[in-house]
Amino acid sequence: MINVAFVCLGNICRSPMAELIFKQLVNERGLSLSFNISSCGTSDCEEGNPIYYPAQKTLSAHNIAGSHTARQITYKDIKNNDYILVMDSSNLLDILRLTCGEYGEKIFKLCSFTSRPRDVADPWYTRDFEKAFADIYDGCKCFLDYILKEKSEALGYDKRH
């Protein structure tokens, strides 16, 4: 089992988009049983809220279904996941502050797996949900390719049992 948590600030736009996109990509490969995929926010400002409507609408326009309820990250999330994938440098700093610098080896910016490492622009401020979707989709696709190479043995084992 590979445990992956996507993290942004509020957990109502970028990280739930990433969670649902990545679930779909994993599902398309027939690998759902090999992954535990979640998302959360560094802040509690949107705790209990559903996915922000423009983000949900953008997902639907790309035929990606699903829902999510926002929640704040805990120390346990960091300890129990194999990969913590954040959307931008500010999320990265917030998490490292929470862990006092520990667990840095499993915390990555999502788009660092792409051929063009970058932050996912925050659509809360840009209002460009399509651009956020494109960045997140690129990041998720490249991260899955990385995992398929890195963890091919473990994934093959999971598929056989």
Structural contact between residues 34 and 155, judged by C-beta atoms closer than 8 angstroms:
yes
Q: Which residues bind ligand 4NP (CB under 6 A)?
A: 8-14, 45-46, 122, 124
Q: Exactly one of 8, 13, 40, 111 is catalytic; which is it?
A: 8
Structural contact between residues 42 and 91, judged by C-beta atoms closer than 8 angstroms:
yes
Non-local CB neighbours of 157 within 8 Å, separated by 6+ positions = none
Check if 14 is active-site.
yes
Structural contact between residues 140 and 27, judged by C-beta atoms closer than 8 angstroms:
no
Closest distance to ligand 4NP from the beta carbon of 17 (Å): 8
Closest distance to ligand 4NP from the beta carbon of 112 (Å): 18
Check if 119 is active-site.
no
Q: Exactly one of 13, 14, 40, 138 is catalytic; which is it?
A: 14
What is the arrangement of strands in the sheet containing 2-8, beginning at the earlier edge strand? 35-41, 2-8, 83-86, 107-109
Closest distance to ligand 4NP from the beta carbon of 9 (Å): 3
Q: Which residue is nearest to ligand 4NP (CB)?
A: 10
Check if 8 is active-site.
yes
Positions annotated as catalytic residues are 8, 14, 122
